[in-house]
Every structure is written in structure tokens, then in C-alpha cells.
Structure 1
Amino acid sequence: MNSPAPSPFPILGVDTSSHAGSLALLHGHTLLEERSLAATGRRHARTLVAEVQALLRSHSVAPRDIGLLTVSAGPGSFTGLRVGVVFAKTFGYLTGTPLVAVDTFAIIAANASAEVTRLWVLEDAQRGALFAGHYTRTPEGHFAATGTTRIVPLEELAPLIEPADAVIGPGVKRLPDDLRTARRCLEGDLALPRGEHVARIGLRQWATGDRVTPFEFVPHYIRRSAAEEVAEKKALESAR
């Protein structure tokens, strides 16, 4: 399994995409600490800043010492992703730290054990559907997407999941019981993105030149929130 060349600087991994956010601080490939985020840290950028500062202080690392900022970009919670994006833009702009946007589903896929070579990552899309992305393990041992993440109605999902596929992610609990019994389901903490994986995947992306500026970083929503769709509908109705 190949790894990027060692990085001589601290790396910060941030995930706010789920109900259980996560922060991680690495130095090169060495994990210094990983912390769960308090609920307020996932809802308010100001609180997230305080939690990041506490993590850095505990390891005597100043914000400007961070050599790479890696942030989960979605899909996931609309509110959580927005908090993460605001933090990333602010931190990146103020410190000049290189920024990498990391696919949330790739982060979740990284939780799977080594014997898993194919899997579907699922997230609840509401309205009787799931966000679904398929991933396979590369010769280097990492997961890569085989296509784009899409919205799949629950009743159309079963034919897509082959016997060799595992399933993982917060959306697994929405699967029918017969499908959950017939396929390998990775649940519990395995279904949630981790800050350590954000940082490690982000480091690999950075090594290949895959990075963004604070102004370019946008969340991967797949579709707008229900509130936004309702607002647009009202605007169209009032314009008639």
C-alpha cells in the first residue's frame, strides 16, 4: 500500500457533515489526536472555531502552523456542511493554509476493513430516497468512486447492490430488512465520517495537486435543502 511522501507539517481534518462531527490533528502520517465535535460545534461556525483552537492548544500548535486544512465537502447535513465551509473559508483566508475539499462518502468508505473491496455508501436523502455512491478499492488500498453520487429511490436500490458489495453509511438503517439481511452492512460508528480519514485522504489529494482556494470551496449538496425548495416555490407562485 503506497502512501504520499511524509509531510513535515501539521494537518487538520474537519468533518461537520453528520450528526457526529469530528476533528483530527495529524503531523505527517502520525495521528496526534481525534475528537468528536459537540452538537453546537456542528451548528455554529464560531463554536467550531473554539473547538479547533482547543485541539491545537492541547498540542502547542498555532493556527498558522497548520500546513494543510482538509474539510469534508459533502454530501451530508445542509447545516453542518455550511458550518464547515464557513470555517474553511475563514481559516484558509486568514492563515493562507492550503485547503483540500474531501468527498464525505470517500471518508465514510475508508472506515471499511481491508477485506472489503466493493461497497455502496448511503445517506438518507429524505422523501423516500437515498444518496448513493459506489466505491471500489484501488491497488494502493484506498477507495475510489466508480461514478457520481446520485439520488436513488428506495425501491430502485436493491437491484444496484450486488452480492459482492458491502453497504455503509447513515442511510443503511433505511434499507428494507430483507436487503440488510442479504448484504454485508457496516453500521454503528463505521457509518460515520472521521476526522482522521478526512486528513489522510486530503493529504493524498494535496500530493496530487487536488486543492482549492477558500473562494472556490463549495459544499457538495447534490440537491438543495427542503427549505430552499419551498422558498423557490413560493417565489414562483408570487411571480405569477
Structure 2
Amino acid sequence: MLTLGIDTATRVCSVAVCNNNKILGSLEVNVGLTHSEGLVPQLETLLKLARVEKKQLELIAVSRGPGSFTGLRIGMATAEAMAYALELPLAAVDTLEAIAYNLPVAGVRLVPVLDAQKGNLYVGSYRWEKDHLTEIEPVRIAAARDLAAQLQAGEEPAILMGECHRVPGTENCDQVTLAPESARLPRGSSVAILGASQYVPRGDIHAYFGMDPFYIRRSEAEKLWEKRHPEGQ
């Protein structure tokens, strides 16, 4: 299945086009541009370099979070607009699962983390079993200062992925190692491959539209609105 993958959950904007498990093209940009500025030109460049026309695409897969509130909205809105214009089905992929998919290593716990603000982290926990990535625990929010100790107390070695630099104390943990930097952050190719493998046709392709991002927590804007409008709660 020829799939376009989009990930804008972090400051990295990553897009890829894959044919099943084969990566035809991938672009990652991590230079501080806002995704609203760079995403569409990046998609156009990707398809041109991969020699894939939009009409050839069969599926669009997008990272749904957790991650940056603004980044997720931009990525999902762009994916929905393209899917609508091209009359293509749409698949949503969990961001932390897509990060863990970057590193197919058996016998360890893969722990992708992303910044959840105010000293907290979004934390996932996955394990490869043969050729299948399995979620060990549901995605949660944990205090960054406590995560290293929690992982050290685990029964199996752990590999930290994602925004590892936000986890203090890991340098003293013999149970915890850091993934190579090239595998730490989201990749559009992992989103595309996972999206294609998880996609189940439902007849009406538009049934996938209106997907909600996987935020876990409320945004600061939502909290402020509720504070100012208590009658609406």
C-alpha cells in the first residue's frame, strides 16, 4: 500500500512515502521552523524526489499524539485536507508507538518520552516480540525527576528514546541506555508503515475524518478558558 506518513508531534517535522515496508523517500527537518511554514513545501519536495504523484497514493497516515498541541493540530489538519482532496482513507498512529518502531531490538523495554511541560513527560513502554511491537503499559504522564529511578527498578533493561535529554539521572542507571540519536525522534516512515499495517477498510473512507488528537492532558488555552468561563463547565 503506497502510504504518505506525516509526523509533526515534536519540533521535528518528518514526512515519508512508503510502499508497504519499503521506504521510497523520507525528509526530516529540525531547524526550528514552525510546521505551518514548512509542512506543505516539505510534502511537495518529498513526492517530487520520490517520483510519486499524489494520485498514486493509497493511504495517508498521521501521528496523533501525544506531543505538541499546535504541531499535532497542524499535522492532522493537513492530513485531513489532503485525504479529502484526494479522496483517500486516513489512518492515525500513536506518536510514542511510532518512535518505538524506529528501533527493532528484542529483549529490552523501549521507553519513548516527550515533553509534557512543567517538569513532566509523556512516557510509553513497548517491547518487540518476534516481528511485532507490543505495548507493555498504556501511555502515561510521569515526573521527569522520578523516571530514571522507576526504570532502574525495572526487571529488564530499558532504552530511552524521544526527548531523552529531559530525563535527569539516567547517566547513573546501569539498567538504562539511550537510543542512538538517529532513532530517537519521530519518523514519517515509521508512521507510514505502522499506519498501513493497522489500517482496516471500513467502506466509507470519510469515516476517518474528524479524528481527535491524543493529547492526554488539556492544553493551557483550554485551562485558561475554563478558568474564565466557569459557568461553561
What TM-score bracket applies, with the shorter chain setting the length?
0.7 to 0.9
The aligned counterpart of 2:150 is: 160
The aligned counterpart of 2:24 is: 32
Answering whether residue 220 of structure 2 is matched by residue 220 of structure 1, we say: no
For residue 191 of structure 1, the aligned residue among 178, 184, 205 is: 184
1:38-96 Cα offsets, whole Å, 9 max, x none, are: 6687531x742232122212333222210111111111111110111101111111111
- Cα distance in 1, alignment partners of residues 21 and 110 from structure 2: 25
Shift of 1:230: 2.2
- Cα distance in 2, alignment partners of residues 142 and 187 from structure 1: 21
- Cα distance in 2, alignment partners of residues 208 and 35 from structure 1: 28
The aligned counterpart of 2:227 is: 233
CA contact (8 A) 1:23 1:37 kept: no
Shift in CA distance, 43/131, structure 1 to aligned 2, threshold 3 Å: same
User: Residue type matched to 2:87 in 1?
Assistant: G
Gaps (5+ residues) in structure 2? none
- Cα distance in 2, alignment partners of residues 75 and 56 from structure 1: 27
- Cα distance in 1, alignment partners of residues 185 and 163 from structure 2: 10
User: Residue type matched to 1:112 in 2?
Assistant: L
Shift in CA distance, 11/178, structure 1 to aligned 2, threshold 3 Å: closer
- Cα distance in 2, alignment partners of residues 155 and 36 from structure 1: 30
CA contact (8 A) 2:109 2:127 kept: yes
For residue 110 of structure 1, the aligned residue among 90, 101, 114 is: 101
Among the aligned pairs, what percent are the same residue? 32
Shift of 1:175: 2.0
Which secondary structure state, in structure 2, belongs to the residue aligned with residue 147 of structure 1?
A: strand
The aligned counterpart of 1:3 is: none
CA contact (8 A) 2:27 2:42 kept: no
User: Residue type matched to 2:132 in 1?
Assistant: H
Shift in CA distance, 68/178, structure 1 to aligned 2, threshold 3 Å: closer
Shift in CA distance, 52/102, structure 1 to aligned 2, threshold 3 Å: same
The aligned counterpart of 1:84 is: 75
Which secondary structure state, in structure 2, belongs to the residue aligned with residue 14 of structure 1?
A: strand
CA contact (8 A) 2:96 2:124 kept: yes
User: Residue type matched to 1:52 in 2?
Assistant: L
CA contact (8 A) 1:168 1:190 kept: no
CA contact (8 A) 2:7 2:75 kept: yes
The aligned counterpart of 1:126 is: 117
Structure with more of its chain in strand, by fraction: 2
User: Residue type matched to 1:32 in 2?
Assistant: L
Answering whether residue 89 of structure 2 is matched by residue 98 of structure 1, we say: yes
Shift in CA distance, 166/42, structure 1 to aligned 2, threshold 3 Å: farther
For residue 137 of structure 1, the aligned residue among 125, 128, 143 is: 128
Q: TM-score, length-normalised on structure 1? A: 0.82
